[in-house]
Structure 1
Amino acid sequence: MNNPASFLILLFLAITFLQSGYDKLFYWKDNLEWLKGHFSKTVLKNFVPLALAKILVLELASGVLAIVGMVQLLMNGDRIYGFYAAFLSCVTLLFLLFGQRLAKDYDGARTIVIYFVPAVLAVYWLN
């Protein structure tokens, strides 16, 4: 493996998105209830279940791709699945950022930026 930093960021993305996806999947009702309140004054108020489902799929796909990317890096040094994971992670985080900004949750949006920086670095390193 040529770039241990890439592996570590993929591990970071896998942990982040698989844990978040797990939480959404197994605590769907609690998440949905909270998000309905969070987005009650936005254009998303009637689409919260659909938006949550889409975010769940994006997070799980990002996490699984990150694991596949780590395995690929270790096995043969290839980076394509890691790149896909990093890119999809960026897209997922942009969706989350959009939602936080729409809800005027600027502290939540700021937190997402913290996750976005290493994801963009991964896109750069794995390209």
Structure 2
Amino acid sequence: MELSILQLWLPVVVGTILAWIASGLIHMVIKYHNSDYQQLENEGAILDALRAGQQKLGLHQFPYCGDMKNMQDEAVQSKFNKGPVGLMVLVPNGMPPMGKLMAQQISHFLFGSILIAYCAT
């Protein structure tokens, strides 16, 4: 018996909801990722410096090297060796838009469930 993707609508919806609930439990009850984040030692001074620099939103690398050819330059290597080396993501000020983020997450789970159902047909 061959199934069409439309016949799998119930497993798709149930799978989406179960994945979303499991994700919430892992995040809020087990707090699995809490140990992944650390506070900067002198957070206040760093935040003040970032505000003063009026950085653009987005992903920032430090030290910055715009072209891989420059990685051989002694000045660039010195910056990397001296440190710190890292990535920083700047997002708009304010609290994270939880409703929007939760809707995005459940839509990703729905898309994944539909993709799995499609592969199963």
**TM norm structure 1:** 0.33
| Higher RCO, 1 vs 2 (CA within 8 Å, ≥6 residues apart) | 2
Q: Greater Rg, structure 1 or structure 2?
A: 2
Q: If each structure's helix is expressed as a fraction of its own residues, which one has the higher value?
A: 1
